[in-house]
Amino acid sequence: MNSFSDSLYEITLYTTERKPLLEGNLRRMVEQGLRSLPGRYPGLKIPRHTIHPDRVEMVLDLNRLDEDLARILQSFKSEVKGLAQKEGHTLHTLWQWAYEEREVLNPSFWRGDYR
Domain residue limits, the chain: 8-114
DSSP single-letter state for residue 43: T
Does pLDDT of 115 surpass 70? Answer: no
Residues in the chain: 115
Q: What is the pTM of this model?
A: 0.83
Instruction: Please tell me whether residue 51 adopts helix, strand or coil conformation.
Output: strand
The CATH number of the structural domain formed by 8-114 is 3.30.70.1290
Which tens digit of pLDDT belongs to each residue from 44-91?
A: 999 999 999 999 999 999 877 888 899 999 999 999 989 998 988 877
Question: Are the C-beta atoms of 43 and 62 separated by less than 8 Å?
Answer: yes
Q: What is the C-alpha separation between 98 and 100, in angstroms, rounded?
A: 7
- Model confidence pLDDT, tens digit, residues 16-39: 999 999 999 999 999 999 999 999
Positive or negative: CA dihedral 56, 62, 63, 67: positive
**H or E element that contains 73:** helix 69-86
